[in-house]
Chains A and B, each alone.
Chain A
Amino acid sequence: MMKPRPFWLLAALLAAASLSCSPAKERTTLSSLDELKDKRIGVLVGSTHDQFATTRFPGAEIFRLDTSPDLAVALKAGKCDVILMDANTGRLYRRDDPGLAVLAEKVFAEDLGFGFADAAVRDKFNVFLKELGASGELDRLRKKWENDSGEAAIPDPPRSGKNGRLRFATSADGVPFAFIKEGRYTGLDIELAYRFAAGQDMIPDVQTLPFGSLIAALASGKTDVICSGITITAERAKQVRFSDLYYQSAADALILKKNAAGGFEQTAAVPRAGGWLARAKESFFNNVIREKRYLLIWGGLKVTFLISILSAFLGTILAGLVCLMRMSRRRLPRTVAKVYIDLLRGIPQVVLLMMMFYVVFAPLNVSGVLVATITFALNFAAYVSEMFRTAIESVKKGQTEAGIALGFSKIGAFLRIVMPQAVQRVLPVYKGEFIALVKMTAIVGYIAVQDLTKASDIIRSRTFDAFFPLVMVAVLYFVLAWLLTLLLEAIQVGTAPKRPTRETPGARSAGGTSSRELRGGQAQKSRGAGK
């Protein structure tokens, strides 16, 4: 019973997606850095640019975003007038998008380094850098990534190592340092990380975190090394053991070319050719096919599906236990369950998720998927246990008693009599909560899990197309939720009492017919009575 509805919607949304977003209406011209003082400035959360803009331009409006590509998208959409970012990243952006320009005035110089938790590892890395520099290999690598980051190939990471694993964290959004291409981590930092790990006979484990969370992750022991084109500053050095600099860079201010003072040739920003269909095709190709981005989407979909199903499963079992405690005759378990439910329902899921990742599970090396699954299971259980309770309490108590009087044990009466009715009653609300859970998993990107939403973030970070990846992911969530609803509906139908579809004539007959029936009963007497 496939309804065509979602596919029509998909088509309509794709059509909408292909109409590109309109540029800012207000025209702002810029030529020097000082003009930024009352402008809208986009920066990366927790970056040196953020600090610079805040202190240098107190009158400016600062937009703090999580990834560099988000900055580019914000600039193009007219959300801000100027964005600050690493000169290399900016240069590559400009190469890909002729609509962007750079202020001639350099903002400031940046020394990039790797961050370490352990000084001994840091020292080894410095030795590694020195050797690489001495052989001229470091220069070759820098050039390779600077010039042609889109085409440069990343070597395979070492798959085995005698000395265990080395965990790297990156925001994976900054070309040419660390980014994702064809579903793989790539970039200068990543190649350095792989080479270093290989030299140490260790297996590199790379995970993605928002730029602003990198230092916190290092401090809380979630990772051993952070590498994401990080600028070495005195303030950061208090929390991070920085390596020597491996790359000398600078910060640039990017603006839209048409806003540059003096005016650039407008012809550079070529309007995309073709009708909407052609543009939709191009968007599709860019966001899905190019660099095998469908792998990212497929991987994200799997993670979202896995976390949803596992946490619903675990959460349901936990909900049963909490419900049992909540309905206990003894005070202690009842109070514990009540506190649990109130507490979990009162904490935002994002906060809970981050607490679990950075505080509770900080000392343990567990995967983000596991932490996410546990967190959502805990949260799911708090809500669902109350649903269970109301469903169980809605089954008339007399039925349990009748079951016990018939000879069932308490558990037997619950399983055979209360459960089937409670399940039937709880399913409609449970379904809603489950869908809510699927959508809630979109926040796992906060703890370095690459789910569907994160996949779209990564794609956006490469294509600078805000609309298509978001709409595509919205549609995918919708379809996923819809399919899972169908599944639960099938269960609901399966557990429903088999009622005849037609109303049996006289099914609700009043007592008036009873005397006839009683006589009918007596006519059967010869067949033998109750004993």
Chain B
Amino acid sequence: MIKVEHLSKRFGTTEVLKDINVDVNDGEVISIIGPSGTGKSTFLRCLNLLERPSGGRIWINGQDILAPGTDAGALRRTMGMVFQSFNLFDHLTALGNVTLGPVRLLKKSREEAVRRGRELLALVGLAAKEEAFPDELSGGQQQRVAIARCLSMDPQVILFDEPTSALDPTMVSEVLGVIRRLAADGMTLVIVTHEMRFARDVSSRVLFMDEGVIYEEGSAADIFDHPRRDKTRAFIYRISNLGYHLADETYDYYDLMSRIEAFGRRHFFTGAAIANVMLVVEETLHLCLEEGDAAARRRTVRDTGGLSLVVAYSEQANETSIIVTADASLKTVLNTDAESDRLSLKIVSGLTASVREEIREGKAILTMVLKAG
């Protein structure tokens, strides 16, 4: 029902979408995933002409919507959109929000709109809140009203623009529950999301977007279990990472540690897991900069642009890894010769599941995967 060919969109000189080609069939549930700032939301907004595409063509039910004279209002009535920030009408009650469109745009009678509105509020579990104003509702409740508002227009497809990103973690599930419900009922959905498990469960197809193109697409199993291309794989497995650059041995130890702690908290690490990451990083840097021919090693590090440290966490695999990269002239990041501190080595090997050193593309790369906490 939606067909997109060579879609592009630029804001000024920035090219956000380059060449998007995609088909959406009736009843499909499509998830769009990918790093932030790669045009996922822009793509969604192009579909209902909230953004005017710079090039390419879009057909909805066989109608070319970029042709001059397209009634954008009529088009949007058939495509619901749910926003990240809910965007409920603040001056109307929950019931008012779900009846405004039907009464004003579909010219339904007030009685009919109210009857249908109550049905829809019941559907999203908010029958008791019809008299509540948006500021009296929690974020999750507001987003459910927003979904009901979309449904009130009887759309053929609903576009979700990161529907749970602005929500407290405790409220995510109530919104996802409603979306699952719609998917199960056979509604056509296009969902931009960062909720990987949800995308995996609910989608009939997953699009991975990066750098303004659809980088990889496939079934949920294809994308999440067997991603074929590098960036997809990196995204799926290492969903987030913390990068830190050390110019030389005089790095700010406390700053580094506090960042690791904040990173760990953001991903709900246990206290012990955070302590382990910190310990491994500290011992690794000790082995790198303080052991063996320390003076020469430090000079090499300083002269070749320092060390780069990445702490990567994969939500999918629940796996934390630490990658330290230095110039190839350092040969190894960890100094593990006979002179080295045995205790440091013991700690590193005790807390990691694997340690791998390699020289690639002029870089000495140390990859350590921490044992599962």
| B-binding residues in A (CB < 8 A) | 395-396, 398-399, 401-409, 412, 416-417, 420-421, 424, 497, 499-500, 504, 507-512, 514-515, 517-522, 524-525, 527-531
Contacts and interface: CB of A to CB of B under 8 A. Distances in A.
B122 A524 contact: yes
A521 B139 CA distance: 17
A515 B174 contact: yes
A508 B187 contact: no
Scoring A399, A504, A528 by chain B CB atoms within 10 A of each residue's CB, the highest score goes to A399
A171 to B, nearest CB: 54
B89 A403 contact: yes
A518 B119 contact: no
A507 B140 CA distance: 13
Given A398-B83, A530-B151, A518 B174 contact: yes
Contacts, number: 146
Contacts of A396: 85, 87, 90
Contacts of A500: 131
B239 to A, nearest CB: 24
A408 B81 contact: no
Given A424-B91, A497-B92, A509-B138, A404 B187 contact: no
Nearest to A415: B104
Given A497-B133, A508-B138, 20 more contacts: A398-B83, A404-B50, A404-B76, A406-B153, A407-B73, A407-B77, A407-B153, A497-B92, A497-B93, A499-B133, A504-B131, A511-B170, A514-B125, A514-B138, A518-B177, A519-B125, A521-B123, A522-B125, A527-B122, A530-B151
Given A396-B87, A398-B85, A507-B132, A407 B178 contact: no
Contact of A407 (B76, B91, B168): B76
A203 to B, nearest CB: 55
A417 B89 contact: yes
B124 interface: yes
30 contacts: A395-B90, A398-B86, A399-B88, A402-B81, A402-B146, A402-B149, A404-B50, A405-B81, A406-B76, A407-B73, A407-B76, A408-B101, A408-B104, A412-B104, A421-B90, A500-B131, A507-B132, A507-B136, A508-B136, A514-B173, A521-B122, A521-B178, A524-B119, A524-B123, A524-B127, A527-B123, A530-B120, A530-B123, A530-B182, A531-B185
B273 to A, nearest CB: 27
A421 B91 contact: yes
A405 B48 contact: yes
B138 A402 contact: no
Contacts of B182: 529-530
Contact of B87 (A398, A407, A510, A514): A398
B245 interface: no
Contacts of A518: 125, 174, 177-178
A389 B83 CA distance: 25
A416 B100 contact: yes
B181 interface: yes
Contact of A514 (B73, B77, B91, B171): B171
B45 to A, nearest CB: 9
Interface residues of B, number: 60
Closest 3 CB pairs of A and B: A521-B125, A402-B87, A517-B125
A123 B22 CA distance: 93
Contacts of A402: 81, 83, 87-89, 146, 149
B171 A511 contact: yes
A406 B149 contact: yes
Interface of B: 48, 50, 73-74, 76-77, 79-81, 83, 85-93, 100-101, 104-105, 119-120, 122-129, 131-133, 136-141, 146, 149-151, 153-154, 168, 170-171, 173-174, 177-178, 181-182, 185-187
A531 B187 contact: yes
Contacts of B185: 529-531
Nearest to A422: B91
Contacts of B101: 406-408
A54 B182 CA distance: 92
Contacts of A519: 125
Nearest to B161: A405
Nearest to A499: B133
A517 B174 contact: yes
A488 B367 CA distance: 71
Contacts of B138: 508-511, 514
Nearest to A496: B91
A409 B122 CA distance: 29
A9 B48 CA distance: 62
A514 B153 contact: no
B264 to A, nearest CB: 25
A401 B84 CA distance: 12
A408 B74 CA distance: 9
A168 to B, nearest CB: 56
Nearest to B127: A520
Contacts of B140: 511, 514
A401 B140 CA distance: 20
A520 B125 contact: yes
Contacts of B146: 402
A531 B123 contact: no
Contacts of A512: 170
A530 B90 CA distance: 24
A517 B145 CA distance: 13
Nearest to B92: A497
Nearest to A515: B174
Scoring A406, A517, A519 by chain B CB atoms within 10 A of each residue's CB, the highest score goes to A406
A95 B108 CA distance: 81
Contacts of B73: 407-409
Contacts of A520: 122, 125, 127
A518 B187 CA distance: 19
A521 B124 contact: yes
Nearest to B188: A531
A395 to B, nearest CB: 8
Contacts of B93: 497
A517 B121 CA distance: 11
A411 to B, nearest CB: 11
Given A401-B87, A404-B50, A504 B100 contact: no
A528 B174 contact: no
B179 to A, nearest CB: 11
Nearest to A507: B136
A528 B119 contact: yes
Contacts of A399: 87-90
A398 B146 CA distance: 12
A511 B174 contact: yes
Scoring A405, A421, A500, A512 by chain B CB atoms within 10 A of each residue's CB, the highest score goes to A405
Contacts of A424: 91
Contacts of B150: 406
Scoring A395, A403, A512, A518 by chain B CB atoms within 10 A of each residue's CB, the highest score goes to A518
A531 B154 contact: yes
